Structure formats: structure tokens, C-alpha cells
Structure 1
Amino acid sequence: MRKLPKRLKKGDLVGVIAPSSPPDQESLQRALPFLEELGLTIKLGKSVSATHGYLAGTDEERLADLHAMFEDPEVSGIFCAGGGYGAARLADKIDYAMIKENPKVFWGYSDISFLHTAIGEYADLVTFHGPMLASDVGKPEFHERSGRMFGQLFKPFELHYTEEVAPLETIIGGIVQGAMVGGNLSLIRSAIGTKFDLDVKGKILLIEDIDKEPYEVDGILNQMRMSRKFDEAAGIVIGDFKNAEPKKRKASLTMDQVFNDYFGALKIPVVKGFKIGHCEPHFSVPLGTLARLDGDAKTLTILPGVE
């Protein structure tokens, strides 16, 4: 298993960075008090308020913020302000040896999925797939349960996902254990054929996405099928696919049909409906720790992500 970052404590300083697109500044300001209520103090990265086209500052500026927060011994954790696009542009420039020497909490999702994979693979560090400050925490619809999920950063405890959170549906039953990896489906696909290609062998694969029509999800899953991802994975956790309705075409397969086409004949546990992704509540999970997926009981258990 990957190295666990140290747990956060009240009074800790945490960094806020924007590795992707410019975060909405008003929403970000509404979110910062949430971190303060957790007992944390905040250091904002320089590029959080920068704009370079569709990026939150140049690659050099965003990379400098990422490096500075990991290098700063006073910073105990790093939270991403938002997603969008751009994190992957940094991946081959990151100093992973430095991150490995300075392990700490790293939290985000969506476009940040590329960094989760890269940091997990090359810095051997457990990271966290969870709601971001401007994109989620600062929005009126931010759910109380989503907020409670930040508690896993302060005290190590097993996460237990059952149908008490939301209804689940088993596509393929069975029980499997393995490290959970993955995140946003589009970002997983974008890494195929690169040095950051997601290693799913013997692992539980998490997928989620937003604003993708069924035919678009179909295309990504087909590429992953032909890349043998589903042959190598030990199990599949299907998170939230928000706004996955047909728009361009009146005639369309449903998302259920697409999932059944790709997963229905597999011989590994596959369960869908998890509130993980662009949804409220958002069930936050560590990536790189041991998980147990029970397709028969429809439960997901994940070991703690901090020490």
C-alpha cells in the first residue's frame, strides 16, 4: 500500500491551490470559513487568483504553487480550489521525489484525478478524492454529509458505504479486496498511452464523470476495454455520472445500457450508484488504500487514508 500522510490537527496550516482552471473567487471566499471551522488556518497559493486564459495562471505559476505547498514544512495539507482543465499539463514537470520526502494530505477530484494518479504512482502517496472549495464547498447546495467527510483527515477510521447513503445496484456480484484507484473517467482516458497511464491490475477501479452523453461515455469505456483495463481490474465502483443525458441525439442508449454492455459480462464485482463525484452529498474517499467491495451485500469498505 501507498504511504499514508499524517492526520491533520486543529491549528494546522493548510495550503489552497488551483492546479487547473481559475476558481470562482466569490465561491472560494464563501468556502474558506469552512476550513476555519475545522480548526485550520489557510495559506493561499499565488495562482489561486490568477488567470491565464482557461488556466489559473501559467503552467510555471501553478506548478510553483504545488511545489511550494509540498515543500513548506509549516503546511500540513493541500486543498484544491477547483477543477476544470489544466492539471495534466503539470504532471511531467512535478518533482515527485520531493513530494515523496514531504508526504501530506492532498485533496480534490475531477480534473485533479490526473494528479491523484501521478502522485500515487510516482510519489507513492495516498491522496483524497473529495469536494473542492470553490467548486463545491462554497456553493449553497453543499451538503452537510459532504462536510462531515472531511473528518477522515483528522482521525483515522474505516469508511463504510452502504445503501443508507444512496441506493446501489449490483451489475456483477462477488467480493474483492484491493487498493482503490481512479477518479474522473475522462482524465483516466486521457492518460492512456502515457507514463501516467492508470495501473489497475488487481485494484478496485473508481469511475465518475459529468456532462458526458451516453455515447461519449460509451466511447471512453470502449477505449478502456480495448486497453484491457477491465481485464486487469479486480472490481469496479461506478460513481456519479451527473447530467449524463442525451442532448445531440434523440435516439440514444441509456447509461444503464452502456454500463451493462461493458460490465455485464465481466467476472469481477461491479456496483453502480455510489455518491462519489460531481454530486451532493459527495462521499469522499482515499485513493491508494485497501478497499473491500461486496457486490452481494452492496457495500464498500475502505481503510483509513491518514496515520
Structure 2
Amino acid sequence: MPTSRRQLLHLSATAGLLAAQAGQASQATAPAAGPLRARRLRPGDTLGLVSPANATFEREPLKIAIESLQALGFKVKPGQFVSARRGPFAGTDEQRAADINAMFADDAVAGVIAMTGGSGCNRIVDKLDYELIRRKPKFFGGFSDLTSLVNAIHQQTGLVTFHSPVAASEWNDYSVQAFKGVAMNAEAAVLRNPVVKPADDLVAREERISTIRPGRAQGPLVGGNLTVLASLAGTPYFPDCRGAILFLEDINEYIYRIDRCLSTLRLCGAFTQVAGVVLGRFTKCEPGDGYGSLTLDEVFDDYLLPLNVPVYRGAAIGHIKRKLTVPVGAPAEMDGEAGTVRLLAPAVV
């Protein structure tokens, strides 16, 4: 047999084997068809309090967080290691992951919420028991560094998770009503910014929406903190962006770093797949030192206008006082001109 033909047959057989192996792997990790929804939270339920992202260095913030959850009507079960300390983290990676797994295993716990954001979630994203979570779906919520876990859990199990306030957040009336509507009342809610009337000005200067490209789009919601999300690119925990509505926010990043993270999403193919983009708040994302910088407007225009999908900026998502609760994996419709996201079905049952 000619050498070239032998090589072609060998390559063909190898490709077939690799494709079969890839298919088996995808079948092993693929979530069930359609979003898996947890039971709605109810007053009197027990919330498991975990700290996968960061240590809590003083007793008072933990006490206030527990009192806040109790004021929402919940009983609170702190994780075994929620007050632990190893460097900046609440215990070792194994301990922090074990707390989450234990809460999903405990039938007396109705939902799980993170104490605070930080930087430790990527270290444990491969240590969660996703089969357990799939078998015992529960509310799981948090934001900022929790972007890793809310997207990974949805991607690995199909469970709708929640980009929500953490326990240590400020639970003002807007944040409380947004949380209750989506996670407790099972509303197919319209997620929109609070209305702020100017006290002594001709126009409102807060909670403004700016339309980058008008239009409407439907798809499952995915996203969260841009920096954290970009760090998942190329891993099995990065969300499926095909036909999705991607929402993004960030804090304390120089504009060139925002640019770099957006380029990561472009290069990994995420942007070419999305149906629409919702930009939350990019709090204190400034030029920094150097010879100059693009503006955030210019950076967003460079990456998002060529997509020819609806995009708006300014949603009440991110490191801000008044926060929306956004269900990751839930089907929704965005309106780029109105600056709204409408859930097409309740995110919980």
C-alpha cells in the first residue's frame, strides 16, 4: 500500500477514534436537555451559608450577614468552614468545596448562598460534586467571584443558578424585591433598573440605560463578572454561549484589562455565538497610568457593534448597592432600546 494512502487511513482512523472519545466525554458531562429548576425559596426555609471565595476576617460581618438572611425570613445554617482561615480564603480548597457539597447533600437545606465574593472560586470549581447537585437541585446564589460557580454548576448540571446578592451584600428594598420576585415568588419577572427621579435637576443622572445597538433577542442568560468569566475560557466550566444572552459586569479593572478580557471572549468564539449582550456596571474601571487609554465606550463599540446583535449598557448588575437577581440558564428576552430583560418562564418551581 502506498505510504501516503496508509498515512491517510491511519489519520482517518485516529480522527474517528478521537471523535468517538469526545462524544463519550461530552455525553458523560453534558447537562440534561432543558434547564433544571430548583424549588422556590420560602419563608422558614433553611439557607446554607458558605464562603467559597474569601475569608471573613471579623465576626461582625458574618453576624450581620446571618441577620440579613433571617430578616428575609430564612433560617441559616453556616457551613462547617465558613469562619475558617487559610491566607485570604475560608479554609483549604477541599474544605470550601466540601461545605458546598455538604449543603447540597443535606435535605434540610433548601438553598445555598455565598457569604461574600473574593478570588477563590476557580480553585474549587473542579472539586464540586456535580452529580450530587444534579440529583438534588437547589437554589445557589452569589456574584462577583461566584461567577465561576454559578456558570459551572449550570454548565455541568443544567441547573438554573442565580447571579444574586451575596449574604454580606446590602439588602436594600430594591435588591430584596428583585431577589424575592425571581427566587421566592417564581415570577416570570421583567428585570429593569430602579426608577430614580432627580431631586433638583432637569434629567435623571443615575440608573441610566444607554443603547449600543437596539433590537430584541431571546436566549438563555449566561455571564457575570467579566474578569472571572474570561478566566474560565477553554475549560469545561465556561458557559455555552450559543444563542445566549450574555451579561457582563466588573469592578476596579483598568480599561486595558477590560479590553483584554473582551478579546479573550472574542478569540474563544463566545461573541460570534451570542444572541445579545447586556452590560451591567463597570464600577471604577478607569484608564490608570500611562500614555492614554481608549474609553469604555470605544472598547465596547469595538467588540460589540460588529456582532450585529442587541446590546445595552447600564443594567443594575454588578458591584453596586441596588442589584438585580439574574437567573443563569433561564430563558429570557432582552430589549436593547428599553433596557430590560424579561424572563420567559419562572426560574424556580
Q: Deviations over 1:231-290 (max 9, x none)?
A: 111110101111111222362221111111111222111111101011121111111111
CA distance in 2, matches of 1:184, 1:37: 27
CA distance in 1, matches of 2:135, 2:299: 43
Q: Deviations over 1:27-69 (max 9, x none)?
A: 2211222211222111000221111112110011111101100
Contact 1:172/1:266, CA 8 A, preserved across alignment: no
Query: One-letter code of the match for 1:98?
Result: L
Q: Which moved more, 1:191-200 or 1:101-110?
A: 191-200
CA distance in 2, matches of 1:114, 1:77: 18
What does residue 15 of structure 1 align with?
Answer: 48
Query: One-letter code of the match for 1:289?
Result: A
1:267 aligns with 2:297: no
1:220 aligns with 2:261: yes
What does residue 143 of structure 1 align with?
Answer: 172
1:104 aligns with 2:138: yes
Contact 2:35/2:158, CA 8 A, preserved across alignment: yes
Q: Quote the offset at 1:150 in angstroms.
A: 2.4
What does residue 305 of structure 1 align with?
Answer: 347
Contact 2:183/2:348, CA 8 A, preserved across alignment: yes
What does residue 82 of structure 1 align with?
Answer: 116
Secondary structure in 2 matching 1:75 = coil
Quick check: which has more Rg, 1 or 2?
2
What does residue 256 of structure 1 align with?
Answer: 297
1:157 aligns with 2:187: yes
Q: Deviations over 1:135-191 (max 9, x none)?
A: x23xxxx53211222213221112213455422111111111100011111111111
Secondary structure in 1 matching 2:211 = strand
RMSD: 1.4
1:176 aligns with 2:205: no
Query: One-letter code of the match for 1:143?
Result: N
**How many matched pairs?**
302
TM alignment of 1:163-242, pairs within 5 A: 164-165=194-195, 166-242=207-283
Unaligned runs of 5+ in 1: none
Q: Deviations over 1:169-220 (max 9, x none)?
A: 1111111110001111111111111122221011000111111111110011
Q: Percent identity?
A: 39
Query: One-letter code of the match for 1:305?
Result: A
1:244 aligns with 2:244: no
1:27 aligns with 2:69: no
Q: Quote the offset at 1:117 in angstroms.
A: 1.3
Q: Quote the offset at 1:305 in angstroms.
A: 1.6
CA distance in 2, matches of 1:2, 1:163: 26
Pair 164,14 (structure 1): closer, same or farther in 2 beyond 3 Å: closer
What does residue 71 of structure 2 align with?
Answer: 37
CA distance in 2, matches of 1:296, 1:100: 37
CA distance in 2, matches of 1:216, 1:155: 38
Secondary structure in 2 matching 1:147 = helix
Query: One-letter code of the match for 2:163?
Result: H
TM-score, normalised relative to structure 1? 0.94
Secondary structure in 1 matching 2:289 = coil
Which structure 1 residue ranges, 4+ long, deviate > 6 Å from structure 2? none
- Quick one: which of 38, 58, 66 aligns to 1:5? 38
What does residue 122 of structure 1 align with?
Answer: 156
CA distance in 2, matches of 1:102, 1:261: 43
CA distance in 1, matches of 2:332, 2:55: 34
CA distance in 1, matches of 2:161, 2:192: 22
Q: Deviations over 1:75-125 (max 9, x none)?
A: 001110011111111111211011001101101011111111110011210
What does residue 320 of structure 2 align with?
Answer: 279
1:51 aligns with 2:92: no
Contact 2:161/2:327, CA 8 A, preserved across alignment: yes
For CA contacts below 8 A with separation 6 or more, give which structure has more relative contact order: 1
CA distance in 1, matches of 2:70, 2:194: 29
